[in-house]
Amino acid sequence: MYTFTPCDRKKCFPVENRYIDGHLQDFTALGSYFSSWSMETEFLEAISDFHLLIYLYKMEMLPMKTQMQSLLEAVRTKNKDQAYEFKKNETWTLLESLVGNEVGMSEGAGPSRKNGATGRGSSISSENLSNSGDNDGAAGSGAGGSVSWTCDHCTFINGSVLSSCEMCGLPR
């Protein structure tokens, strides 16, 4: 009996630190992962993905790290009741609503997330997100008239005046 859900069961959550392989961990990936499961009936199986648990633990935007003890215990013991009790947690419901908003935005007229933000607490405004775009890093003009570009190396969205990435320092 394994602690974590095998990857062949359903779609796996992206592996951390594998951007070159197309494994981007962000809210869009989280929403896509959640939508591949019936979160009402398969919550424990869905949440038992090792890489998802690491992402949730390291997430800086929400204080999941301090509240994951009961979830980790539920995963370890395969206790569905304890997992569903965690699902009622205020922080988890906030996360679900944020993910729902993000997925709705990316499916609608929102930005292309091919090289979007990572959801790790970076200070990217929604205007910059709506300006993010294609693979070459160029972005269109937004409501504010500023142009931003997405770093091809780390996917950080930079201001137009910069010739190298503010995050990783590599050239445009």
pLDDT tens column, 118-146: 333 333 333 333 343 444 444 444 444 56
Partners of 171 in the beta sheet? 164
Tokens of 171: 């050239």
Question: Which pTM value belongs to this model?
Answer: 0.56
Is residue 120 a contact partner of residue 155, using CB atoms and an 8 Å limit?
no
Residue 159 gets which letter from DSSP? E
Closest residue by Cα to residue 54 from 36, 76, 39, 72: 72
Mean per-residue pLDDT, 64-93? 93
- Give pLDDT tens digits for 40-72: 889 999 999 898 999 999 988 887 888 899 999
CB under 8 Å to 73, separation ≥6 — which residues?
A: 79, 82
The C-alpha angle 27, 31, 36, rounded to 5 degrees, equals 150
CA distance 32 to 98: 13
